[in-house]
Amino acid sequence: ETGVTQTPRHLVMGMTNKKSLKCEQHLGHNAMYWYKQSAKKPLELMFVYNFKEQTENNSVPSRFSPECPNSSHLFLHLHTLQPEDSALYLCASSQVRSSGEITDTQYFGPGTRLTVL
Amino acid sequence: GNSVTQMEGPVTLSEEAFLTINCTYTATGYPSLFWYVQYPGEGLQLLLKATKADDKGSNKGFEATYRKETTSFHLEKGSVQVSDSAVYFCALKNTGANNLFFGTGTRLTVIP
């Protein structure tokens, strides 16, 4: 396994379902991210984790719940989503310097294509 | 605030044509600038970057120069190939910030 992997690649769910997206990075990084990619919109940063601690939450609705059990794994738990939540969800990771600053380059997974019916 | 504006796509070119994708930015500090590329079915990959004014990033025949006076970071390639068909994203990151700010992406299709 190399790089950043995401499962599942495709997910269709009803508005009352509960599902989880999984991300795993094999790069030895300590920062991980969730982004939402919708058509004709900039990538939206959702959450940032730095050494398993959440450092950013960009006003994301509570129906999205992230979990970072260790520096290599990141989950996004989904509950009572809306059709407008349909999008490509991208996970990324990056290295953290000894100073605590996250380095510039982010490495992305292939994404999970989510459809909410 | 921080934001990135890039040209609307899609862009369709013939093989060996010259490519320019415009990108301008607004930033509160002195950001690093990036171009990421997303090939079909894949995640974003870093294509090139520049960390200060007048720096030129280059990779795989693509180039972009950090122009502070015009707050721009236009992507260019002299001769595109079919394999360059992808979505290209301009992005910025301020020093000390945790995240990147992305543009909306520009889809490039190169036809033989």
pLDDT score at A97 = 73
User: What is the interface size between A and B, counted as CB pairs within 8 Å?
Assistant: 50
pLDDT at A53: 79
B100 in A contact zone (CB under 8 Å): yes
Tokens 């960009």: give the residue: A58
Q: Which of A41, A104, A108, A112 to mutate to test the interface with B (most CBs of B within 10 A)?
A: A104
Q: Could you tell me which of B65, B61, B68 has the C-alpha nearest to residue B19?
A: B61
User: Residue A2: is its pLDDT beyond 70?
Assistant: no
ω before A8 within 30° of 0 (cis)?
A: yes
CB contacts under 8 A, A 54-93 vs B, are 55-56, 90, 92
Average pLDDT, chain A: 89
* Residues 43-72 in B contacting A (C-alpha not used; CB under 8 Å): 43-46, 49, 51
Q: Is A23 on the interface with B (CB under 8 A)?
A: no
The answer to whether the CB of B30 falls within 8 A of the CB of B96 is: no
pLDDT-derived band at A95 (thresholds 50, 70, 90) equals confident
User: Distance between alpha carbon B19 and the CA centroid of its chain, in Å?
Assistant: 11
Minimal Cα–Cα distance from B35 to chain A, Å?
A: 11
Residue A102: per-residue pLDDT: 67
Q: Tokens 């796509």 label which residue?
A: B9
CB pairs under 8 A, 24+ apart, for A97-101?
A100/A50, A101/B96
Q: What is the 3-state secondary structure (H, E, C) of chain A?
A: CCCEEEECCEEEECCCCEEEEEEEECCCCCEEEEEEECCCCCCEEEEEEECCEEEEECCCCCCEEEEEEECCEEEEEEECCCHHHCEEEEEEEECECCCCCECCCCEECCCEEEEEC
Q: Is the Cβ pair A55, B51 closer than 8 Å?
A: no
Contact B63, B35 (CB under 8 A): no
The stretch A73-100 carries a mean pLDDT of: 90
Split at pLDDT 50, 70, 90, the class of A67 is very high
What average pLDDT does range A3-24 have in this prediction?
Answer: 94
Contact (CB<8Å) A104/B99: no
- Measured CA to CA, the distance from residue A40 to residue A91 in angstroms comes to 19
Q: Is residue A1 predicted with pLDDT exceeding 60?
A: no
CA distances from A11 to A70, A116, B8, B88 (A): 24, 8, 29, 25
Nearest CA-CA partner of B36 in A108, A14, A74: A108
* Per-residue DSSP letter, B99: -
Three-class secondary structure of residue B90 per DSSP: strand
Taking contacts as CB-CB distances below 8 angstroms, the residues of chain B near A40 are: 104
pLDDT in tens, chain B (112 residues): 888 999 888 999 999 999 999 999 999 878 999 999 999 888 899 999 999 999 999 999 999 999 999 999 999 999 999 999 999 999 999 877 777 889 999 999 999 9
User: What does the pLDDT read at residue B105?
Assistant: 92
Pairing of strands B19-21, B75-77: antiparallel
Whether the per-residue pLDDT at A104 is higher than 80: the answer is no
- Please report which confidence band the pLDDT of residue A86 belongs to, taking 50, 70 and 90 as the band edges: very high
Q: Does A8 touch chain B (CB under 8 A)?
A: no
Interface of B with A in 8-27 (CB under 8 A): none
